Amino acid sequence: MTRIITALILASAGLYAQSPPSMRMYVFDCATLKDRDPAAYGLTREQVGSVDMSDPCFLIVHPKGTLLWETGLNDMIYDRPEGGGAKHDKIDKSLRSQLAAIGYGPADITYLAMSHAHGDHSGNGNDYAGSTWIVQKAERDFMFSDGVAATTSVRPDQFIKLKDSKTIIIDGDYDVFGDATVTLISTPGHTPGHQCLLVRLPKTGPVLLSGDLYHFPGEREFHTFPPGSNAQYVASRAKIEALIKTTGAQLWIQHDMIGNRKLKKSPEYYE
């Protein structure tokens, strides 16, 4: 009897992890970044709705496999009552636990892609070293360059295992599943190989996930850039704005705390 019950439990959990007949996208809360300075993005406090930032991760489930977009802040450092870092950034639930709640573990992630290397996007990268990592060549070179940790908010120890992962190195836009439903969009500037993600959902329609191309909606409203932004950054925003016009995509600014609160969170999903 015990074996039968165990088998039924395992079979039930497996139903979540099986690829559905069509696409779905789950949204996870991977951290709250506390009290960020809008001046770092060319804005005043009066031009933003919240100085806290959301830090979501996303799971796209496709008939041909799964893609995890972003890995958030490192769970071991930030998943504690006092948070972590100088601002006491906080994780309420680990990414692993949120995935497990819908029947997925690291072994169920076919592809991993991150917008860029900064620690609030790559903090749990080592957990998914068994997946196929899709990364822009310029970003991979940046991530494993000498001295990167000393000069940027990059923590190579948190994604070092990806160096030996099965990897698809790209240089430009990339169609993940070969059917134009999930496309990595090259948007360098914030980092050398920054990228966004365009997801064409059958019912919700196209959604464009921003990475760090934007941080606050005010950057679009008031046409501001982070001080010192380079020509690549400007060109990448122009590319994304043109893509939004041609596709009709919703732009989800990942760090927009107010916008993030309105999203359905896992175990609910978009399809």
Q: Which of 139, 116, 132 is nearest to 164 (CA)?
A: 132
CB atoms within 10 A of CB 18: 9
Do the beta carbons of residue 59 and residue 270 sit within 8 Å? Answer: no
Single-letter amino acid, residue 129: A
- The Cα 237–Cα 253 span in angstroms is 12
Residue 12 carries which side chain, given as an amino acid letter? S
Domain boundaries, the chain: 18-261
Distance, in Å, from the CA atom of 53 to the CA atom of 125, rounded to the nearest integer, reads 21
Dihedral through CA 262, CA 63, CA 30, CA 37, nearest 10?
-60
Tens-binned pLDDT, residue by residue, of the chain (271 aa): 434 333 333 333 443 445 567 899 999 999 999 999 999 999 999 999 999 999 999 999 999 999 999 999 999 888 888 888 888 899 999 999 999 999 999 999 999 999 999 999 999 999 999 999 999 999 999 999 998 987 788 999 999 999 999 999 999 999 999 999 999 999 999 999 999 999 999 999 999 999 999 999 999 999 999 999 999 999 999 999 999 999 999 999 999 999 999 999 999 999 9
Separation between Cα atoms, residue 141 and residue 163, nearest integer Å: 10
Q: What is the CATH number of domain 18-261?
A: 3.60.15.10
